[in-house]
C-alpha cells in the first residue's frame, strides 16, 4: 500500500494551469504539473507522480519538501552550481587583451603562456591559454608569411600597384 501524500497546495488550480502554460523551462513545467495534478485531484499517491513524470521517488520527495519549505517561488527557482573560477580573469584578462591588441603581440601560444605566468606568478595550462585567447577573446595570433631574402623590393611594389 502506498503511503498517503499530505500536501497543502496554496495556489488555485486555475493559477497553476496558467503558470504551467507560461512556464519558460521544462524543469518549471514539470514541477508545476506535479502541483496541478495534486490540486486537481488527478494524482494522490507519491508513487504515481514518480511514474507519470519518469522521475525517481526521491526527486519527487525533494521537490515536495522544497515546496513545503519555500513555497512556489522556491520550487521554481533555477539553481546552478557555481563551478570552478576562471584562471585568466579580471585585471589579468584586461592586460592580456591590451597586449594582444598592441603591435608587438605574441608569436605563438607558448609565448602567451610564459607571459601570463610571469604576470600572474602561477603556471597556466596551454589548453586554457589557447581557449581564452582564441575563443573567449576571439583573437588570432598572426605571423607574417616568410619572405625570400633574394626578393626584389621594387618588383614587390610594382606587383602591389597592379
- With bands split at pLDDT 50, 70 and 90, how would you rate the model's confidence at 24? very high
In this predicted structure, what is the pLDDT of residue 42?
Answer: 92
Assess contact for 38 and 60: CB atoms under 8 A: no
pLDDT at 157 over 80: yes
Assess contact for 63 and 5: CB atoms under 8 A: no
pTM equals: 0.56
How many Cα atoms are found within 13 Å in the side-chain-facing hemisphere of 100? 23
CA gap 4, 33 in Å, rounded? 19
In this predicted structure, what is the pLDDT of residue 3?
Answer: 63
Assess contact for 112 and 92: CB atoms under 8 A: no
pLDDT at 39 over 70: yes
Q: Domain extents for the chain?
A: 13-76, 91-136
pLDDT tens digits along 135-144: 999 998 876 6
Assess contact for 124 and 113: CB atoms under 8 A: yes
pLDDT tens digits along 1-21: 566 688 889 999 999 999 999
Average pLDDT of the chain, as a whole number: 90
Assess contact for 106 and 100: CB atoms under 8 A: yes
Amino acid at each position: 500500500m502506498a503511503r498517503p501524500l499530505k500536501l497543502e497546495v496554496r495556489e488555485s488550480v486555475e493559477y497553476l494551469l496558467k503558470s504551467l502554460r507560461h512556464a519558460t523551462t521544462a524543469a518549471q513545467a514539470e514541477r508545476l504539473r506535479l502541483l496541478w495534478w495534486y490540486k486537481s485531484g488527478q494524482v494522490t499517491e507519491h508513487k504515481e507522480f514518480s511514474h507519470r513524470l519518469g522521475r525517481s521517488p526521491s526527486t519527487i520527495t525533494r521537490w515536495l519538501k522544497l515546496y513545503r519549505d519555500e513555497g512556489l517561488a522556491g520550487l521554481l527557482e533555477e539553481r546552478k552550481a557555481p563551478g570552478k573560477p576562471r584562471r585568466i580573469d579580471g585585471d589579468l584578462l584586461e592586460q592580456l587583451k591590451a597586449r594582444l591588441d598592441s603591435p608587438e603581440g605574441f608569436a605563438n601560444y607558448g609565448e602567451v603562456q610564459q607571459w601570463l605566468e610571469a604576470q600572474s606568478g602561477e603556471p597556466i595550462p596551454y589548453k586554457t591559454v589557447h581557449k581564452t585567447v582564441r575563443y573567449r577573446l576571439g583573437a588570432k595570433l598572426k605571423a607574417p608569411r616568410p619572405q625570400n631574402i633574394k626578393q626584389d623590393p621594387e618588383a614587390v611594389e610594382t606587383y602591389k600597384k597592379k
